[in-house]
């Protein structure tokens, strides 16, 4: 086996292990803290992720010259694809563009989705999607959620909309259950430029995608709960996931010696 093959296997193992740890950390927190605290944690996490990544990567994806609603929808399709997250884009107009997350959900992979309270989704939407207009300095841009996972509708779906008036803080995220997205069109889906995203870079970015959730999640958990509780919950999750995924990780990296 060449060093390139071994490196690729190591990166895959790191990606899967960190993804599992993120799922485990979410479950550890949701089963030990109140739903309100979990929602607050998610809000903090996704606001941090937004401030770290949104504007810095927005221009790199070639979206600056598009209408804001369209650019935001395309951004979330392209950026999520780096982590292996399936999101669809549907254009309705320059002031209204849709995103729809498809199953299985990376964020709540496997049975994890059954343990997530409603506040997880609301925290995510308020923390990131509702803040896109603020970051783009467009006070008329908001997000309308028409379906969520935890409410057992048809999955997370909604649209970015540019209104004809400035939005208050409370209006940046709205809910309109019952609205349906336009038909999916494969030819309209935005994709990462292949010349900038070769396979090796994409694999490393996929690993880093999961690692960022752990890093920022622990930072914001500490800000919310303090050092002692964060160390306790994070340590338990890390130990259990390490034990649970030991054999799988050994197989991925083709480790021959016993552990």
pLDDT, mean over the chain: 93
- Pairing type for strands 173-175 and 141-147 reads parallel
Tokens describing residue 146:
């028409």
**What does pTM read for this prediction?**
0.92
pLDDT above 70 covers what percent of the chain?
97
For residue 161, the cross-strand partners are 96, 142
CA distance 209 to 30: 22
Q: What is the pLDDT of residue 38?
A: 97
Segments of the chain scoring below 70 in pLDDT: 1-3, 256-259
Q: What is the pLDDT of residue 253?
A: 81
- 10 Å CB burial of residue 20 (0-12, 13-18, 19+) is buried
What's the pLDDT tens digit per position in 25-61? 999 999 999 999 999 999 999 999 999 999 988 888 8
CA distance 123 to 107: 13
CATH no., domain 37-188: 3.90.1520
What ranges do the domains of the chain cover? 37-188
Q: What is the pLDDT of residue 57?
A: 87
Q: What is the pLDDT of residue 257?
A: 66
């Amino acid at each position: 086996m060449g060093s390139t093959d071994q490196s690729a296997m190591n990166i895959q193992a790191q990606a899967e292990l960190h993804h599992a740890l993120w799922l485990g950390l979410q479950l550890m927190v949701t089963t030990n803290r109140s739903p309100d605290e979990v929602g607050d944690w998610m809000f903090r996490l996704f606001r941090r992720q937004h401030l770290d990544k949104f504007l810095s990567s927005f221009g790199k994806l070639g979206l600056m010259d598009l209408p804001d609603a369209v650019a935001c929808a395309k951004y979330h399709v392209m950026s999520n694809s780096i982590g292996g997250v399936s999101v669809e884009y549907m254009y309705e107009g320059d002031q209204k563009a849709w995103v729809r997350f498809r199953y299985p959900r990376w964020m709540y992979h496997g049975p994890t989705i059954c343990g997530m309270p409603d506040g997880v989704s609301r925290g995510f939407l308020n923390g990131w999607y509702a803040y896109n207009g603020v970051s783009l300095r467009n006070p008329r841009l908001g997000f309308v959620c028409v379906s969520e996972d935890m409410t057992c509708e048809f999955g997370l779906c909604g649209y970015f909309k540019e209104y004809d008036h400035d939005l208050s803080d409370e209006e940046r995220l709205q809910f309109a259950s019952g609205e349906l997205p336009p038909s999916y069109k494969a030819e309209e889906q935005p994709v990462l430029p292949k010349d900038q995203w070769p396979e090796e870079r994409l694999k490393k970015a996929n690993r880093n995608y999961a690692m960022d959730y752990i890093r920022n999640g622990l930072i914001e958990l500490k800000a919310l709960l303090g050092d002692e509780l964060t160390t306790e919950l994070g340590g338990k999750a890390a130990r259990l996931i390490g034990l649970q995924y030991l054999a799988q990780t050994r197989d991925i990296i083709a480790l021959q010696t016993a552990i």
